[in-house]
Chain A
Amino acid sequence: MRRRDFLRLAWGCLLAAALPRPARASHPRDKRFPFVFAQVRYRGGDWNPHPLCVGPLMEELMLRTSVEASPVRHEVTLADPDLFEYPFLYMAGRYEFEPFTEGEIETLRRFLSYGGFLLVDDALGQRGYGFDKSVRREFQRVFPGNELKRLPSGHAVLRSYYLMRRIGGVRIANPALEGITVGSATPVIYCQNDLGGAWERDQLGKWTNVCTPGGEEQRRDAFHLGINIILYAMTENYKEDLIHVPFIRRRLTR
C-alpha cells in the first residue's frame, strides 16, 4: 500500500469513528422502498472495499429516475434465509476470497436463474489476480460452461436509461462490461473498473477516490452506469422492446 493510500485510509477510519455511523448496518428491509441495494458479505478477501459508496448512488438514482430506493444498503450473505427478499445484489472486492460452499453455489444459481440480479465490481482491476481470479473461479462453478463474456456495445444495460458509449469507474481497467447471459437476460454483470470507488464520498461529502484518466466525466459515467444497471435489473431488456428501438437508434446515430 502506498503511503498516500495508507494516510487516506487512516484519516477515513478516524472520521468514521468520530462521526455517527452511516446507515450501512444490516437491518430488516424497509418496505416503503421498492428498491434496496443489497451487498453480499462473503468470507475472506475484502467484501466491503467502499463502505460509503451506496448513499451517493442512491441519491443519484432517486434524483434522476422514478425509482424509489432505500438510501441505505442492506448486507446479506448467500446463506441468509431472506436473500431472495433482495432481487438486486452487489458484490465487490479487491482480493481473493474463500470459495463458496456448495449450498451457496446452489442458492446463487437458483437466485440468478429465476429472476435475481448480481452486479460484481472489482475494486482492484487486475485480470487474473485477487478478486477477479476468485470471481471467475466461482462463476465457473455457478454456471459451468457459461463463463463471463464481454457484453456487446448494444446490450440493453447500456441503454436502459442513459445511452452509454463508454463506461466509467475509478480506473478503466476494462473498457467493456462482462456478463453471464441466461436465456434472454443477463443476470450477472461484471465491471472491473471499481465502480464503487467512483461512487464513494466520504463523511464530509468529498469524493474518496480520484477517477483516472477521465476525471469527473469518468465518475459521471460510473454513476450513469450504476443507474443503468439498476434499471436493467428492474426492467430486464425492456429497452429492447420494438417500440423503443427506432427512438434509440435515431438518437444513437445523431
Chain B
Amino acid sequence: MADLYLIPPVPWWVAASIGALAAFLLVLQYRALRERLGPRRSALLTLLRGLVYGLLVFFLLGPAWVERRVVKLRRPLALLIDSSQSMALPADAPGTPPKSRLDAVKDALLPLLERLVRDYDLRLFRFGDGLEPVTPAAVRSLGARDGRTRLVEALEAAAKEVPAQSGILVFSDGIANGERAAADGAPPLPLPVFSVTVGRPQAYTDLRIAEVRAPEFGFRGREIKLDVIVEAYGLRGRKLPLYFNRGRNLVSAQSVDIDADPFEKRISLSFTPKEIGAHHFNVSLPVQPGEQIAHNNRKEFAVDVQRDKIRVLTLSGSPAWNYRFLRMALKQDPLVDLVSFVFLRTPTDSVDVPDSQLSLIPFPIDDIFLEELKNFDVVILDDFSHRAYFNPVYLEKLRDFVRDGGGLAVFGGARAFDSGGYGESALKEVLPVELDGKGTYRGRTSVRAVLTPAGKAHPITRLVADARANEETWSRLPQLTAFNRVQRARGETLLALSGDGSDGQPLLTVGRFGQGRTLALMSDEAWRWNFIAVGNRETPQHHLKFVRQAVRWLAREPSFEQVKILPVAASRPGEKAAITVRVLKDDFTPAAQASVQLRVLGPDGDPLLVPVSPGDSPGDYRGEFTPAREGSYRVEAEAALAGRTLGRDRSAFSVAAGYHESEDGRPRPELLERISRSSRGEHFTIEQWNEKALEKIAARLEGQAPSRIVERRQTRLWSTPWIFSLALVLLAAEWWTRRKWGLV
C-alpha cells in the first residue's frame, strides 16, 4: 500500500511564485505566437510548454510515494536456569518419587524449549556463582554444582545482556545467598521478570542452627552471652535438645519445643570463661529422620577471651613519692585494676589515739598470700621488706606465684634487695639479679639510666618508636638520686645500666622464672622520671609509659610475648594452611636460630607435629598443614633457643567447606514473586509451567511493547526516470512542432 505525499524541498510560497511566473510566461508566449501562427497552433505550443512548466512546479512540491508494510519481530528473551547446589535437593516432600529440583525444571522446560527458541531470540544462561551462557542443547546435561546462588546479581546481569522490550524468564528454587540476598531497596529491574519456582516450602523438612550471635571477644571471668537462632520446617510437635559445647565438653543443654511450622526461636546461652585465649564452641541439634540437610544442625564459632584488666597488687614499705607516682601511672591505665597496700605505720611507731581513731586496716596477709594471690597478674614490691611484717613462708607463696606464670617487679629502696634481706629469702632464686647479702642502698648518688643493647630493643624500654630517638629519650630522663647496688644481673636480660656516679651497675633487669616474669629496678626514685621531667618542661609520659609497658610485659600481654603465632587464614578441607610463628629472643630481637615445635590439633583432638622451616623474615618460622576435614583446629607453638624455652603460644583457625548454598535449602518462592511483581512480570510454580503460561508471557510482553511494527518506505518521484523522460518528450515535441511550423 502506497500513498503520494508532497514533501517540498523549498517553501510553499517559492513554488507558488515560480508557478505564477510560469503562467505569466505562458501568457506572454501565447500572445507572441498567436500573431504568427493563429490561436489553435499557438494554444498547442503553449500547452506543450505549460506541461513542462507544470512538471517543474510539481517537482518543486517534492512529490514522493510512501509505502507502508507491517513487520513481526522475534523478541529477545533471557532464559535463566538456577544450577546451584540447592537445586540438587528433592523437589518435593519425602516419599514422592525422588526428583531433584533441577530435574523437575528440565522435565518442565525441555518440551517447550523448542517453541521458545522458535518464538524468541532466546539467550540461555545458567546461574549460581555467576551468570554463564549455555546452549539449548546443554540444558539436558546441566548439573547443580554452584556453591552459591547470586540470584539478584544474576537477574541484574541478565537485564544488561538483552535489549529493551525483552524479558527475563528464570527457573529457580528462589534461594538467594549472594552478597545481595534480597532485592529490597534496589530499583526494580527494567525488564519484566517471569519466574518459575521449583520446590514447595510446605514439603521441606529440615532442622537447622540458622545463626549464632556471639561476641568476637570476651573477658576472662565475665559471662559471655550469645543467642542461637533455631529454625525447623516440617517438624512440628517434636521436642529436641540443643547442645552447647566447648570443644568436646558439654557446657549446657536446653530443650527446644518445636510448636509451629515453620518454626523459629531465639535461644540465649551463656558461658563464663576462666582462661585467656581462643575458645572454640559449637551448638548442635540431633539430626531428625527425613531432614534434607543434616550438616546445618551444627554450627561452630570462636570467642577470643581476653583479660579484662591486669590485676596488680603493690606492697609499699612506706608512703613515698615513688608510690605516689607509681599509683598515678597505674590508676590512669584503664587496663589495670590496682590493689595497693602502703605500710603507713611500722610496729615501732606509736600512736597517740586508740586504733579506732585510725584509718589503718590490718594487712590481710593470709587472705592475700594464701587465697587471693592467684587472682593477681602482677605483684610489685615497692621498697618493701618482708622482715617486719610476715613469715618467710609467704615469700615462698610469692615464688610459686611467679613460677606458675605471675609477674613480679621489685623496686629498690632502703628495704629492697639485699637491704631488705631478700638474699636469704625464697625470692633469691626468682629475682633477675644476684643477691649475696652485701648489696647496699646508696641514698646520695646520681645515676642516669643507660640502655644496654638489649634495652634498646626491649618493649619495656621502648618509650618512643624510633630506636635512635628512644636512646636519646632515655639519655634525657632525669637522674635518679638513690640506687641499690647488687652483685650483678643474673645472666638475664639487662636493660639499663646506671651511668654517671656508679660505674655501670645493673639498674633495670628483667628475667623469667618458671612460667612467670620478673623485673628489678634498682632504685626507688623512678618518680623523678615523671615529676622532675615535668619541672624540666618535658613530658611525664615517659615514666607513665615505662610503668605501663613493664606491667603489660610482666602480665604477659599478647603483644609482649616472645613466641607468637601469626593469624592463620581460614581454609577449606584439602587446602594448605600456612602457619607462621614469630620468635623473639629475650631482648626482643628476632631469634633466627630457634628450635620451634609446631603442633596442630584437629577437631578430634589428635595432635600432628608440623615441620617448620625459616620464613621470609628473620625470626619467622613457617609450617604448612593440610586439613582433611571441616572443624576447628588448634595450633600450639613452642620455641627454644640454646636449650632454653623462649615461650609458647596457642592459636586456632577454622576449616569450613563453604556451606553458603546448602546451609538453608528451603525453597523461597516469595523473593521471586516479589521481583516478578515489581518488574511487571509474572510468577508461576513449576506445576503451572505449560503452553498457557507461555502464552501469558507472550501476551504480557505484547501488552508492554507490541512485536508487530509498520515499516514505511519513501520514494521521491524526481528520482524516477520516466517522469524525467516525459519532460524531455514534451520539450522534444514542442521543438519538433516549432520546427515543422517554421519557427526554428
Chain A's nearest CB lies how many Å from the CB of B59? 100
A160 within 8 A of B: yes
Do A66 and B532 form a contact, CB below 8 Å, given A87-B324, A251-B356?
no
A100 within 8 A of B: no
In chain B between 303 and 339, which residues have their CB closer than 8 angstroms to a CB of chain A? 317-325, 327-328, 338-339
- When C-beta atoms are compared, the residue in chain A nearest to B332 turns out to be A183
Partner of A159 from the list B349, B351, B359, B414 (CB cut-off 8 Å) is: B359
A115/B325 in contact, CB under 8 A: yes
A234 within 8 A of B: yes
Partner of A231 from the list B344, B350, B482, B534 (CB cut-off 8 Å) is: B344
Do A34 and B320 form a contact, CB below 8 Å, given A83-B535, A115-B530, A248-B359?
yes
A207 within 8 A of B: no
B346 within 8 A of A: yes
Chain A's nearest CB lies how many Å from the CB of B427? 22
In chain A between 76 and 128, which residues have their CB closer than 8 angstroms to a CB of chain B? 81-85, 87, 110-111, 114-116
A236/B357 in contact, CB under 8 A: no
Bound Cα distance A67, B338 (Å)? 22
Chain A interface extent, by class: 35 or more
Chain B's nearest CB lies how many Å from the CB of A14? 33
Q: Which residues from chain B contact A163 at a C-beta distance below 8 Å? A: 356-359
Partner of A87 from the list B443, B531, B540 (CB cut-off 8 Å) is: B531
Chain B interface extent, by class: 35 or more
A143 within 8 A of B: no
Bound Cα distance A239, B358 (Å)? 11
B343/A84 in contact, CB under 8 A: no
Q: Which residues from chain A contact B181 at a C-beta distance below 8 Å? A: none
A234/B323 in contact, CB under 8 A: yes
Partner of B361 from the list A82, A83, A114, A243 (CB cut-off 8 Å) is: A243
B352 within 8 A of A: yes
- When C-beta atoms are compared, the residue in chain B nearest to A60 turns out to be B352
B342/A238 in contact, CB under 8 A: yes
B339/A162 in contact, CB under 8 A: no
Chain B's nearest CB lies how many Å from the CB of A202? 22
B265 within 8 A of A: no
A66/B344 in contact, CB under 8 A: yes
B358/A236 in contact, CB under 8 A: no
B353/A162 in contact, CB under 8 A: yes
Partner of A66 from the list B349, B361, B531 (CB cut-off 8 Å) is: B349
B359/A235 in contact, CB under 8 A: no
Which of A31, A66, A238: most chain B CB closer than 10 A? A66
Bound Cα distance A162, B338 (Å)? 23
Do A84 and B531 form a contact, CB below 8 Å, given A231-B319, A234-B320, A238-B342?
yes
Q: Which residues from chain A contact B318 at a C-beta distance below 8 Å? A: 34, 65-68
A4 within 8 A of B: no
A254 within 8 A of B: yes
Given contacts A64-B349, A115-B325, A235-B319, 5 further A-B contacts (CB under 8 A): A31-B482, A66-B319, A67-B319, A163-B357, A234-B319
Which residues of B come within 8 Å of A, CB atoms? 317-325, 327-328, 338-340, 342-346, 349-353, 356-361, 414, 443-445, 481-482, 524, 530-532, 534-536, 540
Can you sample 27 A-B contacts with CB below 8 Å?
A34-B524, A35-B319, A35-B320, A64-B349, A65-B344, A65-B345, A66-B317, A84-B531, A85-B535, A110-B535, A114-B530, A115-B328, A115-B531, A161-B358, A163-B356, A163-B358, A220-B352, A234-B320, A234-B321, A235-B319, A236-B328, A241-B338, A241-B340, A247-B359, A247-B361, A251-B357, A251-B359
